[in-house]
Amino acid sequence: MLVKLLCVGDIVGRPGRQMLADHLVHLVKEHDIDCTIVNAENVAGGSGLTNAIYDKLIKYGVNLITLGDHVYRKREIVNTLNSSSCIVRPANLSPLAAGKEYAIYQTKRGPKVAVITILGRMYMSMPGDNPLIAIDRILQKLPPGIDIVVVEIHAEATSEKICMGWHLDGRVSAVFGTHTHVTTADETVLPKGTAYITDLGMTGPHKSVLGRDIERVLQANITQMPFPFSIATEDLRLNGIIVTVESLTGRAVDIQRVCICGTHEPGQAYDEDDGKPDNYNNH
């Protein structure tokens, strides 16, 4: 059986959520997607995830949710991290950290998909244990009966992501990178059957600096003073990949980049307003 996975890059703020709300159902139907995986670590005002927004993502049709170095930015999400079966925190944090090291989704057609997130260590504000050693440990803990394994490496350095791809070639179905918010053009199926891309890119406003208002970020960099980084609102895009996997072998047979441009005009209302400002203070 061929199983199709849709993996969506870092969702930034309300504009990113709007793109998901507008386009996810259509994408799933058009491409016959069996499982949708999204990175949601920037979804709440640009940093972290709240319980209310978690509920929205599930309502929009997301099956598995990953987080990165902003995993605990909103403390309220801790209970959800512990109780939900469809969300993961980085697996190479302390064993005492809240949340699960992997999550499993059973597709409607039967095959089970597991997702694992690993933090890189180079230039990261929240470094974890050695990612290559950690992923070997987590793979050994997966229960039997998993047909497809997807690994996200949330890292700044492209070299760490590429190393993870080669380290896992033939052992998992797909490896994708997140965190930089810039889509790379190196999607490929590695020789032993693992789909790979260095970074999925960002889902949100692309007339920006990584999703934030351009002028605010310029001011902060020029003056070296703290400024609140409000979320930008223009040139909305959804970025990700579609991976096709043969469920019997767990090997990928195809990977394609996806980029959907939004239709919302600047200033228009974004998804269901939760009453909280869409900004992230960089103090």
Rounded to two decimals, the pTM is: 0.92
* pLDDT tens, position by position, 115-124: 999 999 998 9
Angle between helix 13-31 and 51-60 (nearest 10): 20
* pLDDT tens, position by position, 38-55: 999 999 999 999 999 999
| pLDDT tier, 221 (very low <50, low <70, confident <90, very high otherwise) | very high
The answer to whether residue 265 scores a pLDDT higher than 50 is no
Tell me how far apart the alpha carbons of residues 100 and 151 are, in angstroms, rounded to a whole number: 14
Reading the block at residue 34, the tokens are: 């069996």
Q: What residues are labeled active site?
A: 70
pLDDT score at 228: 86
The answer to whether residue 88 scores a pLDDT higher than 80 is yes
Sequence letter at residue 74: K
CB 100 within 8 A of CB 106: no
**β-bridge mates for residue 229, sequence order:** 280
Count of residues making up the chain: 283
* pLDDT tens, position by position, 3-48: 999 999 999 999 999 999 999 999 999 999 999 999 999 999 999 9
Which DSSP helix (H) or strand (E) runs through 164? Answer: helix 158-168
pLDDT score at 262: 84
